[in-house]
Amino acid sequence: MLWALGVGYVVSGDYFGWNFGLRPAGHMGLVVATLVMALLYTALIFTIAELATSTPVAGGAFAFARRALGPFGGFLTGLAVTLEYTLAPAAIAAGMAGYVAGWVEGTGAQWIVGWVPLVSYAACVLVNLAGVGVSLRALLVVTALAVVALVLWGVAVVVGMPAGAWSRLGDNVSTMPPIAGVMAALPAAGWFFLAIEGVPMAAEETRDPARDLPRGMISGMATLVVLAFAVLLLAPLAVDPGVLAGSANPLPAALEATLGRGLVFDVVTAVGLVGLFASMLSIVYACSRQVFALARAGHLPTWLARTSGRGVPHVAVIVPSIVGLALLGLAERIAPAEIPAADFVMQVAVSAALASYVAICASHIVLRRREPAMPRPYRTPGGIATPSIALVLSLVALGAGFVHGIAGGVVLGATVGLLATGAIYFAVVVRRRIAGRTLEAELALARDDGPSVTS
């Protein structure tokens, strides 16, 4: 289940979004950018595994940073994660609309496409409201289908690949990618792995967190690396990277270019929608747990921590979904003309995620030095060198996206503006609400040890 949760968070990144990195970097430039981000996320997963087993609470990154960086650091980290998990489903919903647009034909196609984001959000909310058992079992099924479909897609593309395409691979390898292009592609490359760090938010619903959280995260990351490079190798060979860069459905586009439309095209497109839904479903789940933990600890309005009779934080499921859908509509109006709204939303989500990674890695380093005797059922291999690598690469990717990325200045303004608004909220509201609480009291509230709000 934890493997499915980790892969489910991310598998949509194989189906959509990564191809935006082809515009600034080309094929080999995006390969290099993906290698960098794979190293970042691998180091990050080993870092989080130690933190998650030391503090196995639903708050995840918020709880780690609260312990290491204090109330303000914990709040900003939790806010960055919440922002990431509110915006990522919106980008995925736009991706689902793109898949449907490339599949259906006729005069009613546009009408159908327009309803896809709303319907996908409604489905995610309903499944999550059914309870954690139902939502995680559903996630296991749809994630397995999405992975099988990726394998089927890879086999079909290889079988139908034009003979001259393989020779282009040698030409691409011999071409030195531009450094600025590689830097600009880092956020899109991160989409192959974004949100795998959310697995610890299921800590309170895991039977043996000390054993199962590291195993689920590491096996999930290994699966994602294999899938990412399979997609990245084959798709830009089947379709010209310049054309693929702007595609709303890159995997079906590659399949159509090799085998044409037919049964395999329909299956891959349909299951591609399932894969996109798997990520959306799991990220809505993770977002609800992060919002619930922040609200339970008093860092967000306490009514967001209400739970249903099934034990589901239903308000924390519904409210961020409404906000995400609204922000997607807003992005379609304010996104710069040179990038699609989905790409704009994706870049802001990745930027918020990278900011949270900096805080997570700093928390690991601080806790290793300040609390050496803290119980650590799992210890990060490499000690503080591993989080240090992830921290440096996160800062590089964060700066690269803003400096070299398409519409990077607008993305920077949106990200900083949202986090700054949260900082003002903390100063005006939260600081007074949590005044006098000790670290132990905060962590008790981040677990079920403290009072929770039920409906």
The amino acid at residue 401 is G
pLDDT value of position 452: 38
Nearest to 13 by CA among 205, 284, 278, 238: 278
What number of helices (H) and strands (E) belong to the chain? 18, 0
Class (C level, CATH) for 2-446: mainly alpha
> Rounded to two decimals, what is the model's pTM?
0.86
Q: Is 340 helix (H, G, I), strand (E, B) or coil?
A: coil
Look at residue 439 in the predicted model and tell me its pLDDT.
64
- pLDDT score of 449: 40
Q: Crossing angle, helix 263-296 and helix 250-259, to 10 degrees?
A: 170
Give every CB contact of residue 120 below 8 A, 6+ residues apart in sequence: 92, 93, 96, 276, 277, 280
Q: Is residue 205 within 8 Å of 293, Cβ to Cβ?
A: no
The SS3 assignment for 61 reads helix
Nearest Cα to Cα of residue 27 among 225, 243, 349: 243
Predicted local confidence at residue 368, as pLDDT:
94
DSSP secondary structure string for all residues of 52-63: HHHS-STTTHHH
Separation CA 35–CA 40 (nearest Å): 9
Q: Are 193 and 38 in contact (CB under 8 A)?
A: yes
Q: How many residues does the chain have?
A: 455
Task: Please report the pLDDT score of residue 173 as a whole number.
Answer: 64
Listed residue (448, 157, 124) closest to 274, CA to CA = 124
What tokens does 136 get?
């995680």
Which backbone phi and psi does 279 adopt, to 5 degrees? -65, -45
User: Which residues of the chain have a pLDDT value below 70?
Assistant: 58, 105-111, 170-176, 404-406, 438-440, 442-455
Q: Where are the domains of the chain?
A: 2-446
Q: What is the Cα–Cα distance from 383 to 436, expressed in whole angstroms? A: 34
- Provide the CA 136 distance to its chain's centre, in angstroms: 17
Greatest CA separation found in the chain? Answer: 70
CA distance 57 to 409: 36
